[in-house]
Amino acid sequence: MQVVILDTSEDIGDFAADIILDGVKETGTLKVLGVATGSSPLPVYSALSRRWDPVLSRVTAFALDEYVGLPYSHPESYHAVIDRDVTRPLRLDPARVHVPDGAAADVEAACTDYEEAIRAAGGVDLQILGIGSSGHIGFNEPTSSLSSRTRVKTLTPQTRTDNARFFPSPDDVPLHCITQGLGTIMDARRIVLVAQGKSKADAVARAIEGPLSSMCPGSVLQLHPDVTVLLDPAAASALALTDYYRFVFENRPEWQRRGSTASWAGGTPA
């Protein structure tokens, strides 16, 4: 796992955009992008939009999750959020952008179909993740099976409180969601997790340095061979080995410095 502490959200956005554009344009290894909603990845999307390249319109995208029971037209459905925050600014082809169908009559079938669609697309090449204050990735709340697949979950009161800022009142936050499972997320070939702010410090520390435990679903990333974690200083503030992570980055070997930051972030084994 590579932990990179950067000064600002804009730096995080640019660093992640380097990795993504390198994969899409330079190496051609990134054809399927996993996208997250929420505040954390917004700097990534704005950097990609600012540095837009026509190859982005050939990228296929899969969202991590969706609320159950909100119509697509609801402004806070993840169909609407992905359209607003990702598809339009990145000028992706809407036909290539997939979001779980939380409005389906048969949500369990929608979960199976989603797994199948990811498989049919060849799997996710790079997954962008945020992390919740509960330690969730996707909406895999504490005690989620570490090998779970896409399924319906019940959101914790903490997550509903955290997401209440997007709704008229906390009671309007749906109780249920469809989320890619931890096993589904772990199938991505590469993962870039972004986190900013003090409110994420505890979850970030537990995910990176804590024991592997379903009590902190993000800790499953310790088992993945290619994870880059991009943090601002506040999100990194509860880590024990902050100095070491900075030392590793500052002393990355010369061959890992060539070109963009992407070559470092993509060139080091876990």
* Structure tokens belonging to residue 157: 């009161």
Q: How far is the CB of 44 from ligand F6R (least distance, A)?
A: 11
Nearest distance from C-beta of residue 101 to ligand F6R, angstroms: 15
Beta bridge partners of 31: none
**Whose Cβ is closer to ligand F6R: residue 224's or residue 246's?**
224
3 state SS of 209: helix
CB of 252 to ligand F6R, least distance (A): 27
Where does the chain have alpha helices with state H? 9-21, 42-50, 78-82, 107-120, 157-163, 182-186, 201-209, 242-250, 261-267
Starting at the earlier edge strand, list the strands of the sheet with 65-67.
65-67, 176-179, 151-154
Total site size for ligand F6R, rule CB under 6 A: 14
Interface with ligand F6R, residue 64, by CB under 6 A:
yes
Strands (E), the chain: 2-5, 32-35, 60-63, 65-67, 97-98, 126-129, 151-154, 176-179, 190-195, 227-231
Among 9-17, 32-40, 107-115, 260-268, the segment contacting ligand F6R (CB under 6 A):
32-40
Residues 88-147 that bind ligand F6R (CB under 6 A): 130-132, 136-139
Out of 14, 18, 22, 65, name the contact with ligand F6R by CB under 6 A.
65
State the binding string over 34-53 for ligand F6R (x if CB under 6 A, else -): --xxxxx-------------
Rule CB under 6 A: which residues touch ligand F6R?
A: 36-40, 64-65, 130-132, 136-139
